[in-house]
Amino acid sequence: MIPIAIVPQLEEILKRHTGTEALIDLTQAVGGGSINSAYRIRYAGQDYFLKYNQARRYPRMFELEAKGLNLLMNNNKIRVPSVIGTGEAGQTSFILLEHIETGFPDNNFWETFGEELAHLHRETNETFGLDHDNYIGSLPQSNAPTTDWSDFFIAHRLKPQLKLAAAKNLLNSKILNDFEKLFYRLAELFPREVPALLHGDLWSGNFLCDSNQKPVLIDPAVYYGHREMDLAMSKLFGGFSPRFYESYHSAFPHEAGWQERVDLCNLYPLLVHVNLFGGGYVGQLQSSLNRFV
């Protein structure tokens, strides 16, 4: 059951959205998330998707998620759920989204997905980062605008996660020293590219296939970064067809050697997983790091 304190606000948002005065007449828990509670709700015969959490635990999380979704939507390259509204009542904050009816991928799904992501990545910006910070999972993510990718990657991706992991005693001195060695040569490892608009957390749990067999991106951690970050993250836990990468390459050719840099890019999400889920990811982190130091 959803918290009673947020129901009046939800119904007011939906009244404005639909132009119809009604009551929420269905709430059904939806699984799959590890951070927030999620429900499908029904109002005036239409289904919507609701996520909520403790307001003080993750300040502005849903407001920032809404900004990221709207940024992706405004670029009109790949479908994302429409944001109906966000709010806070009592001790609970929430985001209300369009409900996506899911389907099964057809023969063109992966080609469409790769091409649409490539078009998204062609959206650029003067600097890496964003005009606001946000979250990756439940961890704060700094997006301070930076002109150089390697500087941004060190200062606003790797170092904050390393500091947090070290404070939790999750990393040994060898890993910390190896990262310091990496920082000195990072600029020579990445090919120079203009900032690309990224989903930012592109693993197989963060996309859907809708009822028209089209890809839909969900749960973004949006920023302008090196486009290989999204491609590498898609390989971290698998679940993407080779046709996805082939289609992407046809629309926006990969830089030479991009697959050799997958482990380099994934140092960031691996550090995030160390901080979220503990030491089980430390061995994989060290193994990836060993390739570059």
Within a 13 Å sphere around the CA of 153, how many CA atoms are in the beta-carbon half? Answer: 24
Q: Are 113 and 215 in contact (CB under 8 A)?
A: yes
SS3 call for 135: strand
Q: Is 201 a catalytic residue?
A: yes
Total length of the chain: 293
Q: Contact at 8 Å (CB) between 149 and 226?
A: yes
178, 201, 219, 230: the catalytic one is 201
Quote the tokens at residue 273: 């997983």
Question: Is the Cβ–Cβ distance between 121 and 251 less than 8 Å?
Answer: no
Residue 41 pairs in a beta bridge with 27, 48
**Spatial separation of the C-alpha atoms in residues 242 and 231, rounded to whole Å:** 12
Angle formed by the axes of helices 173-189 and 282-290, nearest 10°: 40
Give the residue numbers annotated as catalytic, written as ranges: 201
